[in-house]
Amino acid sequence: MNKGTSIGMAIAFILTLLGVSAFVLFFSVEPFFDSLSVLYAKKKLGAILSIGALLNIPVFYYLIRIKKNKIAFGMIAFLFFLTGIIAFLKVN
């Protein structure tokens, strides 16, 4: 794995974390970690992760446009990993 791919994975992780945090803090009246545990118990955490990952779309297209393909590849790699996590959460 090269430097660009690692940077892309880090960017995707941070954007997804930012999206999940913003969504939970905006739509929940409970504290952050309590909200996450309630969402996990109700089997809704995968859906929140999917919503949080939407922030990656404009950044991905911007990276493709400025020809930073290795970083964009890292973002896609992280999103495949995130898809596996979401599938695991849906099954359990």
Q: What is the pLDDT of residues 16-60, one digit of tens each?
A: 999 999 999 999 999 999 999 999 999 999 999 999 999 999 999
Residue 1 has pLDDT above 90, yes or no: no
> What's the rounded Cα separation, in Å, for the pair 52 and 23?
7
Number of Cβ within 10 Å of residue 24's Cβ equals: 22
Residue 92 has pLDDT above 80, yes or no: no
Number of Cβ within 10 Å of residue 86's Cβ equals: 17
pLDDT at 25: 93
Cα angle, residue 39 at apex, residues 79 and 45 outer, rounded to 5°: 10
Domain of residue 66: give its range.
Answer: 3-91
pLDDT at 67: 93
Compute CA 55 distance to the chain's CA centroid, rounded to the nearest angstrom.
8
Query: How many folded domains does the chain comprise?
Result: 1
Instruction: Indicate whether this model's pTM tops 0.85.
Output: yes
